[in-house]
Amino acid sequence: MNKRFTPKATKQDIQFEKINVKALQNLIGVTFKDIRLIKQAFTHSSYVNEHRKKPYADNERLEFLGDAVLELAVSRFLYTTYPKMSEGELTKLRAAIVCEPALYQFAKDLSFHKFILLGKGEELTGGRQRPSLLADVFEAFIGALFLDQNLDVVVNFLEKYVFTKVNKGAFSHTMDFKSQLQEIVQSKGYGTIDYKITSEKGPAHDREFISSVYLDGNKIGQGIGRSKKEAEQEAAQKALVNLEKKQSL
């Protein structure tokens, strides 16, 4: 009796099944046309080095591309979003957004660490949680997304997972919106700026402050933060946006 022939899965196929591509795509809300790209983005060089006889490709070239794409997308976002910001301020803010700690946090928030293919040694030494490694994976993913789709899709992804954090003041420590607001108000002769903490809530270790900024007694912005300073910076940021809208009318 002839046995039915069933194609054997290669070791490469079996190893790649460790990356739950379906779960990953559901997580990010993007379906890749070329699955090999998303797999490559999550394949670390340590894994490739342990499988030298197999045609694995690590994510280092994608990381190179992703770095450039990320810088372009962030630059365009900042240029459009903050028309009053100087070149030096834009450069400083961009550097904060694309630096290793920030990219690590973006990757961590998206649970990218769960999908990386690592060599045994790298796994045992905590590579899956290493900030530099996760930051590289985030850049590699951006490179893969750009190649598979286009820049607009990359921007849509960043708007959902990165730019919203910027708009909410996650990088307010690198920007001095209060000084920007004060300069505009003084140069235009608008009046006097005043900040008030209008609400405090939460336990001491997890406090939340709400600050409002007033121009000659009229409220022009409100912000929320883990500290009074953070709340005031966000309030000033919102006030700048509101003043910009008012001037454009």
pLDDT tens digits for the chain (249 residues)? 444 333 343 444 334 446 788 888 988 888 999 999 999 999 998 888 887 766 668 899 999 999 999 999 999 999 998 887 888 888 989 999 999 999 999 999 999 999 999 888 888 888 888 999 999 999 999 999 999 999 999 999 999 999 988 887 778 667 778 888 888 888 888 889 999 999 998 888 888 999 999 999 999 999 988 888 888 988 998 898 888 777 665
Q: Which of 63, 67, 136, 234 is catalytic?
A: 67
Give the CA angle between residues 170, 175, 180 to the nearest 5°: 130
Among 94, 235, 86, residue whose Cα is nearest residue 163: 94
* Catalytic residue status for 109: no
Q: Which of 63, 122, 136, 139 is catalytic?
A: 139
Q: How many whole angstroms separate alpha carbon 43 and alpha carbon 34?
A: 15
β-sheet bridge partners, residue 200: 209
pTM score of the predicted model: 0.67
Edge-first strand order for the sheet with 218-225 is 193-201, 208-215, 218-225
If DSSP codes are grouped into helix, strand and coil, which group holds residue 115? coil
* Catalytic residue status for 139: yes
Q: How many whole angstroms separate alpha carbon 68 and alpha carbon 41?
A: 15
